[in-house]
Structure 1
Amino acid sequence: MNRPTHEVEYEQMLLSRHSFLHQRGGRLQNSTLERSAYILLSRIDVQGPMSIGELSDAFGLDASTLNRQTAAAMRAGLVERIPDPDGGMARKFRITDKGERSLEEERAGIVDSLDQVMADWPEDDIAAFAGYLKRFNISIERIAGRPWPRP
């Protein structure tokens, strides 16, 4: 007999396969941001300016990968490098006004898509689902040792 985690595994695989409703070339359909930029901006938005080292620790990615991602975000005008506001030696990345607008637009588009997917769900079911997803993610973050700050 399969344990309930078998069903969770299968549904999680399908969720990742959907790549959130038709991803094309690293971007969500009708989006303006690459997925990596969306995640990067989301983290900096919640946590504040971050250095490459802090981003590496937060994402579990090597510095060269983050250098490429932040360089692309800088070229797009989404982030800028600033001196450490706390007086540290490392320069940090801060979201620009354009980055904030892009993040807000992307998030609004994703919420609109989710509204379509869950149009016939009762509000209580949506709230319960959000709670279970949060709990699931927090458990993963605990095991990985990389908690994600939440607004």
Structure 2
Amino acid sequence: MPKPTELLEFQTMLMGRFSLIARKATDTSLDRSAYLLLSLLEADGPMSIGRLSEILGLDVSTLNRQTAALLRAGLADRIPDPDGGIARKFRLTPEGASRLNGERAQSIRHLDEIVADWTDEEVTALADSLSRLNADIDRYRNRISPRP
């Protein structure tokens, strides 16, 4: 009999596969890193590379490449720190918000179809469990991710 955490690991791996497939539906779909970065900027407002690095646990060079792609696509822009700090921050553009909302709506439509025979209580219970899991992952990694 597998340990419960072995079952959880396998199921979360499969969930990650689903989200990638859902986002690659068209040539204009956002890639995984763009979707994640735009979601963070939407949830917590403008952020520096340093803050994004803290949240995601990625090195600055990786984030520089990912944010440069957002800038080139017009999905984010760089602004002076609204709080007067030295570091410039990345902010979601109206185009970025529009594309993010479109991708999210598509993802939710997919989920609506997948859980069509679930009760609202079952969907909510799963969402609550995943929220707890994500909060515990943040605690374990000594990070705090923005939540909408």
TM-score category, normalised to shorter length: over 0.9
Q: Give the distance between the partners of 1:101 and 1:56, measured in 2 at CA.
A: 25
Q: Give the distance between the partners of 1:96 and 1:71, measured in 2 at CA.
A: 14
Distance 1:32 1:21, change over 3 A: closer
Unaligned runs of 5+ in 1: none
1:139 and 2:143 are equivalent in the alignment? no
Once superposed, what is the RMSD of the aligned Cα atoms? 1.5
Q: Give the distance between the partners of 1:75 and 1:51, measured in 2 at CA.
A: 17
Q: Give the distance between the partners of 2:13 and 2:79, measured in 1 at CA.
A: 39
Percentage of matched positions with identical amino acids: 51
Q: 1:38 aligns with which of 23, 26, 35?
A: 35
Deviations 1:88-113 (A, max 9, x none): 11111111000110111011011001
Q: Which structure has more RCO (C-alpha within 8 Å, separation ≥ 6)? A: 2
Query: Scaled by the length of structure 2, what TM-score is found?
Result: 0.92
In structure 2, the partner of 1:28 is 24
Q: 1:118 aligns with which of 97, 112, 115?
A: 115
Report how many residues are paired.
Answer: 147
What letter corresponds to residue 7 of structure 2 in structure 1?
E
Query: Scaled by the length of structure 1, what TM-score is found?
Result: 0.90
Deviation (angstroms), 1:28: 2.6
Deviation (angstroms), 1:7: 1.7
Moved segments of 4+, more than 4 Å: none
